[in-house]
Copies of this chain bind each other. A is one copy, B any other.
Amino acid sequence: MEESIIKNRVIGVDISIERTSYAIVDVRGNIIARDGFNTSNYDSATEYVSVLSDKIVKLAEENGGYEKIRSMGISAPSANYLTGCIENAPNLRWKGVVPMAAMLRDRLGIAVAMGNDAHVSALGEHVYGSAHGMNNFIILTLGHGIGSCIFSNGKVYLGAAGFAGEIGHTCAVYGGRTCACGKKGCLEAYCGARGIVKTAQELMEQSDKPSLMRQAERLTPKIIFEFCEQGDEMAQEVFHLTGQRLGFLLGAYATLLNPEAIIFTGGISHAGHWLLDPTNEEFEKRVFHNTKNRVKLIPSSLEDHERDVLGASALAWDIKEYSLFK
Stretch binding the partner chain, chosen from A105-113, A200-208, A285-293: A285-293
Could you tell me which residues of chain A, from 278 to 308, have a CB within 8 Å of some CB in chain B? 286, 288-291, 294
Residues facing B in A199-226 (CB within 8 A) are none
Question: Provided the pairs A164-B256, A166-B255, A170-B252 are in contact, do residues A159 and B136 lie with their beta carbons within 8 angstroms?
Answer: yes
Binary CB contact string for chain A from 109 to 136 against chain B (1 if under 8 A, 0 otherwise): 0000000000000000000000000111
Given A170-B252, A255-B170, A286-B171: A135 touches B160 (CB 8 Å cut-off): yes
How many angstroms between the C-alpha atoms of A256 and B187 in the bound complex?
A: 12
Total chain A interface residues with beta-carbon distance under 8 A: 44
- B255 near A160 with CB under 8 A, answer no
Interface residues of A in 228-258 (CB under 8 A from B): 248, 251-253, 255-258
Q: Which of A1-9, A147-155, A310-318 contacts B (4 or more CB under 8 A)?
A: A147-155
A73 within 8 A of partner (CB): no
Is A36 interfacial (CB 8 A cutoff)? no
Tell whether A161 is near chain B: CB-to-CB under 8 Å.
yes
Nearest CB on B from A66, distance (A): 35
Residues of A54-86 contacting chain B, CB below 8 A:
none
Chain B residues with Cβ below 8 Å from A259 are 159-160
Residue A157 interfacial (CB < 8 Å): yes
Chain A residues at the B interface, C-beta cutoff of 8 Å? 134-137, 148, 150, 152-153, 155, 157-167, 169-171, 173-174, 181-183, 248, 251-253, 255-260, 286, 288-291, 294
Other contacts beyond A169-B255, A182-B289: 20, CB < 8 A: A136-B159, A150-B256, A153-B153, A157-B157, A160-B258, A160-B294, A161-B291, A161-B294, A163-B258, A163-B288, A164-B256, A164-B257, A166-B258, A166-B288, A166-B291, A170-B252, A170-B253, A171-B248, A173-B174, A181-B288
